[in-house]
């Protein structure tokens, strides 16, 4: 399977940052969807040519749709209960 651009929601978390690093090591480019206030330090080891960080308002479906355009696949490691895992992601 050819990996090109993987859209990764939750990339700044412990799990998400590990997944981002692994994807890049396998040849993918990662588009990290991050909240405006997110700390991106966990992603600093990834070369910028393989990482596209996009600030997104996860409560706005149109922001999410634009951020996902051109991606090959979407991976979500967002943490939270109903408000994040079901309500937000089902918009």
Give phi and psi for 54, each to the nearest 5. -125, 120
As a dihedral over the C-alpha atoms of residue 74, residue 43, residue 15, residue 20, rounded to 10 degrees, the angle is: 40
**How far is C-alpha 81 from the geometric centre of its chain's CA atoms?**
18
Diameter of the chain measured on Cα atoms: 35
Q: What is the pLDDT of residue 85?
A: 52
pLDDT tens digits along 35-56: 899 999 999 999 999 999 999 9
Q: Which of 87, 66, 90, 67 is nearest to 11 (CA)?
A: 67
Give pLDDT < 50 ranges for the chain. 1
Q: What is the pLDDT of residue 87?
A: 62
């Amino acid at each position: 399977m050819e990996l090109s651009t993987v859209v990764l929601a939750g990339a700044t978390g412990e799990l998400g940052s590990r997944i981002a690093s692994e994807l890049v090591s396998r040849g993918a480019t990662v588009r990290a969807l991050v909240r405006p206030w997110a700390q991106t330090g966990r992603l600093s080891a990834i070369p910028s040519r393989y990482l596209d960080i996009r600030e997104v308002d996860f409560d706005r479906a149109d922001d999410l749709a634009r951020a996902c355009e051109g991606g090959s696949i979407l991976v979500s490691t967002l943490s939270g209960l109903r408000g994040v895992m079901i309500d937000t992601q089902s918009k």
